Amino acid sequence: QVIKCKAAVMWEANKPFSIEEVEVAPPKAHEVRIKIVATGICRSDDHVITGGLVMPFPIILGHEAAGVVESVGQGVTSIKPGDKVIPLFVPQCGECNSCLNTKGNLCSKNDIGSGAGLMPDGTTRFTCKGKAIHHFIGTSTFTEYTVVHESAVAKIDSAAPLEKVCLIGCGFSTGYGAAVQTAKVEPGSTCAIFGLGGVGLSVVMGCKAAGASRIIAVDINSDKFAKAKELGATDCVNPKDFKKPVHEVLIEMTGHGVDYSFEVIGCTETMTAALACCQYNYGVSVIVGVPPAAQKITFDPMLLFTGRTWRGSVFGGWKSKDSVPKLVADYMKKKFVLEPLITHTLPFTKINEGFDLLRTGK
């Protein structure tokens, strides 16, 4: 059956979300239809609105969520109606070279790079006012019901609180994994984190869990510092307080630069600063923030020649289908907290207010 429900449709760039009645088609073979219970707001959704991440309009955004399976298409055996699940914006098909390589996690079936805005079969499951509406990176969670491919959904513990574990669908896993999985931070090391939004704070937690002895949090909004310290930051730096470039400040603070740095903003200037602040011979810098479209970085190659490593990390380097249920289990065992990352809880119809809070740094 087609389901009629509410969704936040983005008709064009730089406009507010429009709460509309949409029709959600039933799942086709190897697809799953999910009732979304809770969804987080992530800066990557906002990047689409502003054009920093290029996707086709009209579109239903949202990619960090948790819900309950409503129905499944033909051939779906791993998941059944009633299961609690988290949609995966990085799928895990289990067959492509990234899925088959122990070092890889960015399944070739992902829609991040191509930005087609469609299901794997090249069609959409959403219609509104007679128009086809695009999907967003295979998830589209700003709707009461969505359809995802079987490779893009993880079944989780039925006791998990969906309004909290939805963060494991993106923000928490992306940040925490960048530290423990991509960088593999070691005990006693020094780390710098540029950007203290939900993902940056999750990097702080990952560095602390890995046993880092010094965790330097960097942000131009000093209001973020109290929470960063609560989650494990040992020092906080506001670049606006200094006349010299922030990478020089960090090198002076540590004597030789940090062992690991993380750029969790998505800004080319901070990407270069994060590279420059890590130890010149064995420092590792990880890009976690989504790079802005059509921008290029110019940097002195000597920064890399001396031995630094520059890495990227999508979804914290986790193989999604394998790791998300384990991360939920770890949360249930209290191995990490999610509550401090939740600043506001709003009804779905107030989604535009939620984005205003994101944009004002609240």
- The residue from 42, 107, 166, 278 that is catalytic is 42
Q: Among the options 5, 18, 30, 44, which is catalytic?
A: 44
- Of the candidates 63, 134, 135, 149, the residue annotated as catalytic is 63
Kindly provide the residue ranges of all beta strands, DSSP E only, lying in the chain, ordered along the sequence: 3-9, 18-24, 31-39, 65-72, 84-87, 126-128, 131-133, 145-149, 153-155, 190-194, 214-218, 235-237, 260-263, 284-287, 309-312
Catalytic: 207? no
Angle of helix 268-276 relative to helix 246-254, nearest 10 degrees, comes to 20
Residue 44 designated active-site = yes
What is the DSSP code (8-state) at residue 92?
-
Q: Is 170 a catalytic residue?
A: yes
Q: Rounded to 5 degrees, what are φ and ψ at 12?
A: -155, 165
Per the annotation, the verdict on 344 as an active-site residue is: no
Q: Which residue out of 99, 170, 191, 207 is catalytically annotated? A: 170
Marked catalytic residue, from 47, 134, 135, 149: 47
Active site residue 277: no
User: 322-330: long-range contacts at Cβ-Cβ below 8 A with a sequence spacing of 24 or more?
Assistant: 322/92, 323/173, 323/177, 324/86, 324/88, 324/154, 324/156, 324/168, 324/169, 324/173, 325/154, 325/155, 325/156, 325/157, 327/168, 327/172, 327/173, 328/86, 328/156, 328/157, 328/160, 328/165, 328/168, 329/157
Residues labelled as active-site residues = 42, 44, 47, 63, 170
